[in-house]
Amino acid sequence: MKTLLLFFLVGAVVVSQIEACGQCSTNHPQQHYCISDFAVRVEILQSKLDSTHEMKVIRARVIDNLKLSRNKKGKIIDFYTSSSFCGTVFYTGREYVITGSKETWRDGTKYLLHDSCDFGKEWNDLSPQQQKGFTRKYARYCECKIEPSRDATEIKVEDLSFENTYRGARTYWTPDNCYYNPHKSREFDDVEDCEEEYSYCAPGRGGECSWQLTPDYEECFTHRDDYVMVASSVSDGVYPELCIVLPRRRRKACRKRAREYAAQLEEIEILPFY
């Protein structure tokens, strides 16, 4: 009986921790940078448990001081992180970009905290645009506001509360107003979160903030919209005709992609695009 009770208690703890992992808003890397107290590129040297505070303490060498009040490039720092299941997994010898907050223990000692909702990713896993963002771009444009997201927004661009001016926007995304809908991207296979991977939010000539149209971003954006429109109509067997909505010079390429996507989507359950 005691064994069974212990099993349920442990299971309850695991479930509660997993649920806690899902409470984080999905922020763009630029948001993570701008709202954080610090951001650094580090090489992990050591990880151990601090039993006093029931947290992990990570020792690392600072490779690049991306956002920290004092320049610690080349120096050794310690930062704390949760000992729960969620959050960044750190491996010794690898390089990471992390963000976090500056906290204070009860005795007045200050420390750096990388929480489970903070940004943490291996440097080599970042796209070139993300690497450039952390080292140069994000810091310049923190005045631009990107709304965090918890759910996929089903609103189409023509029904948004602001006017969409980007002609290539045809489904659930637009560069205007730095509109961010990452969860919708994740509903479809073979598409990327184009805003996260390939762009950053910055003001244009008129002062209004929008996703910057880097070549990789525009290519990703077009692929995603094409894919979603084709995927949303493939169940009706009319996907090639959908290409008529595109400019004449792009219809042939769209029909070719439509056939390729249809072959990939044969075994995937697709929701109609209305």
What are residue 111's phi and psi, to 5 degrees? -150, 160
> CATH 2.40.50.120: which residues of the chain?
29-126
42-65 mean pLDDT: 95
| Burial track 223-233 (b if 16+ CB lie within 10 A, e otherwise) | bbbbbbbbbbb
Closest alpha carbon to 184 in 207, 161, 154, 205? 154
As beta bridge partners, residue 203 has 209
Q: Among the listed ranges 7-16, 37-46, 102-111, which one has the minimum average pLDDT value?
A: 7-16
* Predicted confidence (pLDDT) per residue in 162-197, tens digit: 999 999 999 999 999 999 999 999 998 789 999 999
**206-235: pLDDT as tens digits:** 899 999 999 999 999 999 998 888 777 644
Sequence ranges of the binding site: 21
Question: pLDDT tens-digit profile of 230-243?
Answer: 777 644 444 566 66
* CATH architecture of the domain with range 29-126: Beta Barrel (2.40)
Which residue positions form the known binding site for Zn(2+)?
A: 21
d(CA 51, CA 151): 36
pLDDT at 236: 44
Burial of 258 (0-12, 13-18, 19+ CB in 10 A): buried
Kindly state the tokens that stand for 22: 């899902």
